Amino acid sequence: MSPDDGGINNVKIGVLALQGDFAEHVQMLGKLGVQAVEVRLPRDMADIDGLIIPGGESTTIGKLSVAFGLMAPIRQFGLKKPIWGTCAGAIFLAKESRHDQPMLKLMDIVVLRNAFGRQVDSFKTHLEIPAIITPENRGPFHAVFIRAPLIEQAGPDVEILARLADGRIVAARQDYFLATSFHPELTGDDRFHRYFVQMTLNSKGMSK
């Protein structure tokens, strides 16, 4: 996608705004010229083309989603349109976390919460991610991990987008679902947001 891609003005992306760092996602989308909508109630999802679930605390995001009647609408949305979960959002999107917490169970991944223990529960690293490189920026992605989950298992339809140097999976895609263990919204690098906008544009062009 080039920055002046015509379709970008026609796309509207919702950001689940119950808890966590949704404001940073809204800001990043704004910088790209994409219309962003904060989603707190089912009616906020009425005309969005894609949904981002931010980082934060996945049990809280899940419980609030139940309380506000968002579980069924988000699951329904995920049958037709793209959803991206960052960190806690990736946990919520997964089919399994081995914790007793509300889960969307949309993406065929098993996640391990707080996978990095106390000593290194937050860290930064550079990742080579071929899927998101652009002609303007072919460099590694500066990834910020905050009490992050790992993607422990990925089903046969899941494409692995990024691994740590030791091989552990930290970003993956399954059709219109995108999961990142880290927080692209907390960096100045907008390539993941561009990638998700492109997924959303593609889904608008096809009926799924």
Query: Mind telling me the catalytic residues?
Result: 87, 183, 185
Give residues 130-169 in contact with ligand GLN (rule: CB under 6 A). Answer: 146-147
Q: How far is the CB of 109 from ligand GLN (least distance, A)?
A: 14
Identify which range of 9-17, 22-30, 53-61, 195-203 contacts ligand GLN by CB under 6 A: 53-61
37's CB contacts (< 8 A; 6+ apart) are 12, 13, 14, 15, 44, 48
Q: Rule CB under 6 A: is residue 56 a binding residue for ligand GLN?
A: yes
Q: How far is the CB of 139 from ligand GLN (least distance, A)?
A: 24
Strand (E) or helix (H) holding 59: helix 58-67
Q: Rule CB under 6 A: is residue 15 a binding residue for ligand GLN?
A: no
18, 53, 104, 113: which one binds ligand GLN (CB under 6 A)? 113
14, 25, 58, 174: which one binds ligand GLN (CB under 6 A)? 58
60's CB contacts (< 8 A; 6+ apart) are 18, 19, 20
CB 93 within 8 A of CB 179: yes
The backbone torsions φ and ψ at residue 65, rounded to the nearest 5 degrees and listed phi first, read: -65, -40
Q: In whole angstroms, give the CA distance from residue 203 to residue 188.
A: 26
β strands within the chain, DSSP E = 12-16, 35-39, 50-53, 83-86, 94-96, 107-112, 122-127, 141-146, 150-154, 159-163, 169-174, 177-180
5, 57, 152, 175: which one binds ligand GLN (CB under 6 A)? 57
Identify which range of 49-57, 73-81, 125-133, 196-204 contacts ligand GLN by CB under 6 A: 49-57
Q: Rule CB under 6 A: is residue 63 a binding residue for ligand GLN?
A: no
114, 123, 139, 202: which one binds ligand GLN (CB under 6 A)? 114
Interaction site with ligand GLN (CB under 6 A)? 55-58, 87-88, 91, 113-114, 146-147
